[in-house]
Chain A
């Protein structure tokens, strides 16, 4: 089991992870929709196993400015989770949640960032909740941390965690719309032992 690599996990269980991603992202969008009090539509999430070098390109380049919300995961499974959204989308969400109270351009000052952190908290909370319900595992998120920076720099944090046991990163891209089209990215980073626990809890023993 300790020899298991991420590639093996995803080769065998790609569909399951995809479905978990789908349900998690769906729940996250429902939570977002309730918070914004409007309808939020989403496309079927894309679950991809990417080489490190491909990840930045996918988000519009390593230097694309993004907002990243990062939190630790504890309980029956351990690891961390990240939610990323592109700068303009984040500004839109912040304006929406603060009901246009912030002057345009000031979204990434203290008030706006605090609002964004709350958005990230609710979205990731809903995501993890659905995972917890599905697997019947206890999943406790730590308070989130937030940063606004280049995509590559933000991604280095989960990439390093993935890097410990492989050369790929498992990314869940979820596209959603309210008035504008937004791209959000979920990266669930369970410790390797936790992959086995998640799959085991779903009644799928690892070979």
Chain B
């Protein structure tokens, strides 16, 4: 029996086929799904903020940030036997939930999360095979390391996969 593992906000988990892994209601956060196609080891990180270094004070939850969260997810996958050189990624989220006027930083946090995610994956040489980012709606995502399918559900839209 396969199961669907749930990842919370500012959280990350690994997942081995035939199991799937999901995170519900991504808004401006980004859901980063990584997979090693050779052994079908996967993982999902639900990051909230771009950069751990730009935050003052002590930060205990490394899954919260794109930079530290991705590194940790890759580390945990490697521990299970995945190899960095084979890893591929798909990303979703980073929406701008409110159409906010002015130069408020609120509007841009989704974009900044996506940028930081891409930068970190680039640095680790993990190619991004597909993305569904930005726009103004929330997304629930389910990732299957077996196939690499990244299923996306949004309110008032038919389910689709990338």
Contact = CB atoms under 8 A, between A and B. Distances in A.
Interface string A48-80: 000011011000011101001010100000001
A145 interface: yes
A167 B64 contact: yes
A114 to B, nearest CB: 14
Interface string A133-171: 000000000110111111111111101110111010000
B136 interface: yes
Interface centre among A5, A53, A55, A142 (most CB of B within 10 A): A53
Contact of B56 (A2, A149, A152): A2
A152 B97 contact: no
B115 to A, nearest CB: 15
Contacts of B101: 142-143, 145
Contacts of B100: 70, 72, 145
A152 B100 CA distance: 19
Contacts of B49: 160, 163-164
A149 B9 contact: no
B140 A53 contact: no
A62 B60 CA distance: 24
Contacts of B155: 65, 148-150
Nearest to B112: A160
Given A153-B139, A157-B28, A160-B48, A147 B10 contact: no
A161 B137 CA distance: 18
B104 interface: yes
B29 A156 contact: yes
B128 interface: no
B9 A151 contact: no
Interface in B67-88: none
B104 A153 contact: no
Contacts of B102: 72, 142
A86 B62 CA distance: 32
B151 interface: no
A121 to B, nearest CB: 14
Interface of A: 2-3, 5, 52-53, 55-56, 61-63, 65, 68, 70, 72, 80, 142-143, 145-157, 159-161, 163-165, 167
Interface of B: 8-11, 24-29, 48-49, 55-57, 60-61, 64, 95, 97-102, 104, 106, 109, 136-140, 155
20 contacts: A5-B57, A52-B10, A53-B11, A61-B24, A63-B24, A65-B155, A72-B102, A72-B106, A149-B138, A150-B140, A152-B140, A153-B139, A154-B27, A155-B27, A156-B9, A156-B138, A157-B97, A159-B10, A160-B49, A163-B64
Given A53-B10, A156-B28, A165-B55, 5 more contacts: A70-B97, A147-B136, A149-B25, A152-B26, A155-B9
